[in-house]
Chains A and B, each alone.
Chain A
């Protein structure tokens, strides 16, 4: 009998909550359109790859070789914008103004140095190599290191090419400069499309944010208006109120996730078909539970919607930064990696990416599912306890 009353009051609250959500057209629109629109735009932006590098050349040698080096650079697809500077000072000025990312400086006497660097009969190992200098704008450590790395490897490849030409001219057949041949093959994402990696991640983040925020907002708003208190003085039990609040947002979070993932995934050609759909559903249902619980926990700790916003924002920044969303978590120190075991975003992100990109069997991800279930369950229990204490 008691369970019958419980179910009836739960259904009543659910009905009220859904009606309220449906009535708030603006929130609903923002809820669905924002994640999709943002992912569509940012899917193009979220690339840590360095492309379209604008670079300068200061050629102090004016020889055929130095011209060839400059040419070699601009033929590379990554180095698109090429400016020639007469003096080093001009190139530095351009670096200062941020017009170029790097400049190569070919010193006077470069062509003779290349000649001298070649191995000869009496000295089979080569002589002193010819020098080329690269000046890089180091303001953004990651970009500048990547850009400089590309430039170095292009220049060195040119050098090796000269060496092979030189040896072949002497009648020595060259198969390989080193005793070792390395072949590489890239699985799962052979074209290395960044959007494949970033788009599912972006969807996860936006769903986390929206679900947690909306849950806590709906609770805090009712508390601010005093309607939550009114609910509490009715015979409806606090658990029914809590479930009635949690379930709609739990479902909404899952719908937003599936919808946003499908639309943006199709748009960017992310290989969604590789994923086990049941694996994804299980993941999002566990994860949405975590987000909803986080929203409830926060709502019990704050007095206003504004506080809820900033508190959730505070947590989320932590979760996002340590989730491996854009910075690899293998690079984090060990203690930080252990701390992030409690980060549900990290585990869910891992599941989503493994399922979609690698087509990993869901079974092989059981530790992640278990952790997700544990975190979600514990957080939900905490939220129930806190909510009951706050309401009584």
Chain B
């Protein structure tokens, strides 16, 4: 292997990337845009759920109730109606829950025995579950306050959130974005570029030159490794400057694990490009085999423990599952090598296996 020739291939690849300003712009700006979206526009908590209140006999107490419901950040009272079929309202409108109080609400809450019925739109289970707990909770607090009566409490639960006491969502999306963007650059971009060279025939040109297969592979992969590293660094930087996400653990360990994860991603990208002949196929495969699982099955968006058993096993072969544990561990928990060595080991094994396999296939085609 000749370092000069390797540098030549890498320089050519860099040149390609830099010339295509549009793609470069998207690669760099996508994570930043996503961070701002997650940071400012998107929330997983439920707020302002549309609610219709059926109040057959308006009274001062029921009006206070309506105001209190509206004042609560979780609910938004769309309408107060005197009568109506709650099921019809739920089918035809955007309301997520219908609360119906009885005609003697005012009298009954002081004397006891008030009946409240809640009809929930189960089509969004997350919303329904939240409202199912939130509405009774609201009523108990509201009645206790309105009647100035204390509900006896036997057990007081004091809950403390470790590692993320303020429940900031940035601490959740910054690591997830790292995992997603790095696989996007490593697997998607790489597989598509290599197959593009195949399609246009320039890869054959490289092959009939006196370049060694290893030089071509390293030369092609190095620029993407660099770009992905820069992008990862950028995500952490924006996370720190804008969203106040500080790395509590050892940055060196994080950097090494990130490098391993990137090698895994590049291995996948190279492997895909040896399997397919066309950019279009490379892209569909990368999206299907890497992007979607990384977002859905790695624990980024959906909690891993809730997965059914076969999918839990499947999630173990997804590199992002292990990488995410490392990033979250290091960034949030100040976890160290002692706690996370196994995750790093798994990534290392994956990287070696994938790269060896991909290089072997690539050289055979050579």
> Which A residues fall within an 8 A CB radius of B?
26-27, 30-31, 34, 37-38, 41-42, 44-54, 92, 95-98, 101, 114, 117-119, 125-126, 129-145, 148-149, 151-153, 155-156, 158-160, 162-163, 176-190, 192-194, 196-197, 209-210, 213-214, 217, 221, 302-307, 309-311, 313-314, 317-318, 321-322, 326-328, 330-333, 336, 353-354, 357-361, 364
CB of A36 to closest CB in B, whole Å: 11
In the bound complex, what is the Cα–Cα distance between A177 and B128 (angstroms)?
A: 25
Among B2-10, B85-93, B205-213, B260-268, the stretch that binds chain A is B85-93
* CB < 8 Å neighbour of A51 from B164, B196, B305: B305
Residues of chain B in range 66-92 having any CB-CB distance to chain A below 8 Å: 76, 87, 90-92
Which B residues lie within 8 Å of A333 (CB)?
Answer: 40-41
CB of A311 to closest CB in B, whole Å: 7
Interface centre among A52, A95, A139, A152, by most chain B C-beta atoms within 10 angstroms, is A139
Residue in A closest to B143 when the chains form the complex, CB atoms? A180
Given known A-B contacts A26-B278, A44-B311, A176-B112, A330 and B76 have beta carbons under 8 A apart? yes
Residue in A closest to B109 when the chains form the complex, CB atoms? A179
In the bound complex, what is the Cα–Cα distance between A145 and B33 (angstroms)?
A: 26
In the bound complex, what is the Cα–Cα distance between A304 and B333 (angstroms)?
A: 43
Residue in B closest to A141 when the chains form the complex, CB atoms? B167
CB of B160 to closest CB in A, whole Å: 6
Which B residues lie within 8 Å of A311 (CB)?
Answer: 22, 26
Contact B169–A141 (Cβ < 8 Å): yes
Known pairs A126-B153, A186-B132, A361-B91 / 13 extra A-B pairs, C-beta < 8 Å: A34-B287, A45-B307, A129-B156, A133-B158, A139-B328, A148-B161, A162-B154, A176-B112, A180-B109, A186-B119, A193-B125, A309-B192, A332-B41
Mark contacts of B169-190 with chain A using CB atoms, 8 A cut-off: 1 yes-contact digit, 0 otherwise.
1011000000000000000110
* CB < 8 Å neighbour of B23 from A129, A210, A310: A310
> B303: CB under 8 A from chain A?
yes
> B257: CB under 8 A from chain A?
no
Interface centre among B34, B127, B143, B306, by most chain A C-beta atoms within 10 angstroms, is B306
Contact B135–A182 (Cβ < 8 Å): yes
> B46: CB under 8 A from chain A?
yes
Which A residues lie within 8 Å of B288 (CB)?
Answer: 30, 34, 37-38
In the bound complex, what is the Cα–Cα distance between A141 and B245 (angstroms)?
A: 14
Which A residues lie within 8 Å of B147 (CB)?
Answer: 179
Given known A-B contacts A44-B311, A184-B119, A364-B92, A132 and B22 have beta carbons under 8 A apart? no
Contact B311–A41 (Cβ < 8 Å): yes
> B276: CB under 8 A from chain A?
yes
Interface centre among B48, B311, B314, B329, by most chain A C-beta atoms within 10 angstroms, is B48
Given known A-B contacts A141-B168, A181-B116, A45 and B161 have beta carbons under 8 A apart? no
Which B residues lie within 8 Å of A180 (CB)?
Answer: 108-109, 114-116, 139-140, 143
Contact A179–B126 (Cβ < 8 Å): no
Contact B172–A44 (Cβ < 8 Å): no
CB of A358 to closest CB in B, whole Å: 5
> B64: CB under 8 A from chain A?
no
Can you pick out 12 interface pairs between chain A and chain B where the beta carbons lie within 8 Å of each other?
Answer: A97-B335, A114-B154, A118-B154, A138-B165, A142-B172, A162-B155, A176-B112, A192-B129, A306-B20, A330-B96, A331-B46, A364-B91
> B152: CB under 8 A from chain A?
yes
Mark contacts of B132-143 with chain A using CB atoms, 8 A cut-off: 1 yes-contact digit, 0 otherwise.
110110011001
In the bound complex, what is the Cα–Cα distance between A64 and B189 (angstroms)?
A: 61
Interface centre among A42, A151, A364, by most chain B C-beta atoms within 10 angstroms, is A42
Contact B26–A129 (Cβ < 8 Å): no
Contact B90–A130 (Cβ < 8 Å): no
Which B residues lie within 8 Å of A51 (CB)?
Answer: 305-306
Which A residues lie within 8 Å of B91 (CB)?
Answer: 358-361, 364
Which B residues lie within 8 Å of A125 (CB)?
Answer: 150, 152
Which B residues lie within 8 Å of A101 (CB)?
Answer: 305
Residues of chain B in range 252-273 having any CB-CB distance to chain A below 8 Å: none
Residues of chain B in range 22-52 having any CB-CB distance to chain A below 8 Å: 22-23, 26-27, 30, 33-34, 37-38, 40-50
Residue in B closest to A184 when the chains form the complex, CB atoms? B118
In the bound complex, what is the Cα–Cα distance between A107 and B362 (angstroms)?
A: 62
In the bound complex, what is the Cα–Cα distance between A325 and B111 (angstroms)?
A: 45
Residue in B closest to A27 when the chains form the complex, CB atoms? B280
Given known A-B contacts A47-B302, A96-B335, A306 and B193 have beta carbons under 8 A apart? yes
Contact B172–A140 (Cβ < 8 Å): yes
Residue in A closest to B44 when the chains form the complex, CB atoms? A142
Top 6 nearest A-B pairs (CB, nearest first) are: A159-B154, A138-B161, A159-B155, A138-B164, A189-B122, A357-B123
In the bound complex, what is the Cα–Cα distance between A344 and B22 (angstroms)?
A: 25
CB of A115 to closest CB in B, whole Å: 10
Contact B167–A138 (Cβ < 8 Å): yes
CB of B169 to closest CB in A, whole Å: 5
Contact B22–A302 (Cβ < 8 Å): yes
Given known A-B contacts A38-B292, A144-B161, A213 and B283 have beta carbons under 8 A apart? yes
In the bound complex, what is the Cα–Cα distance between A60 and B172 (angstroms)?
A: 33
> B332: CB under 8 A from chain A?
yes
Residue in A closest to B301 when the chains form the complex, CB atoms? A326
CB of A359 to closest CB in B, whole Å: 7
> B351: CB under 8 A from chain A?
no
* CB < 8 Å neighbour of B155 from A129, A193, A303, A322: A129
Mark contacts of B89-119 with chain A using CB atoms, 8 A cut-off: 1 yes-contact digit, 0 otherwise.
0111000100000000000111111111111
Which B residues lie within 8 Å of A49 (CB)?
Answer: 125-126, 129, 306
* CB < 8 Å neighbour of A187 from B47, B121, B332: B121
Contact A305–B125 (Cβ < 8 Å): no
In the bound complex, what is the Cα–Cα distance between A41 and B288 (angstroms)?
A: 12
Contact A141–B172 (Cβ < 8 Å): yes
Which B residues lie within 8 Å of A153 (CB)?
Answer: 133
Contact A137–B163 (Cβ < 8 Å): yes
> B53: CB under 8 A from chain A?
no
Residues of chain B in range 281-297 having any CB-CB distance to chain A below 8 Å: 281, 283-285, 287-288, 292, 296-297
> B279: CB under 8 A from chain A?
yes
* CB < 8 Å neighbour of B162 from A136, A303, A330: A136
Residue in A closest to B331 when the chains form the complex, CB atoms? A139
